[in-house]
Amino acid sequence: MEGNDKIILLAGLGGFTASNLAKELTLVLHAENKNFQTICSLPFTFEGTKRRKNATKALSAIKHLPQVKYFELDSLKHKYRDLILSNAFARGDREFWEVCRGMVFL
């Protein structure tokens, strides 16, 4: 992480490793005054309480930083009325793209 290239960290929070890695990388990038953006999602409710707890714990440590953007995958049920399990994660991928595109091309 030398130089000052723009770093974009995409993370689907929920799993123990991904949630903690995203949190730690974000905190390191912030502490080192790097040019970065962290974009993360919180898991669907149906993914279980353990995943939601991991995600919430990680997010609570970083969400106060201005470089952190996040969204709840459950919010996609309101945005896409036709959301069903077979396309839920693809819609989540599309939401990540929309957030990135809004940052890069604005």
Confidence of residue 12 (pLDDT cuts 50, 70, 90): very high
* pLDDT > 90: percent of the chain: 56
Contact 65, 30 (CB under 8 A): yes
Beta strands in 1-106 (DSSP E): 7-12, 36-42, 68-72
- Inform me whether the pLDDT recorded for 60 exceeds 80: yes
Dist. CA 68–CA 39, nearest whole Å: 6
Topology annotation, domain 7-104 = Rossmann fold (3.40.50)
For the full predicted model, state whether its pTM sits above 0.85: no
DSSP element (H, E) containing 89 = helix 85-104
- Neighbouring-strand partners of residue 36: 7
Identify which of 44, 67, 68 has the alpha carbon closest to the alpha carbon of residue 55. 44
- Inform me whether the pLDDT recorded for 3 exceeds 80: no
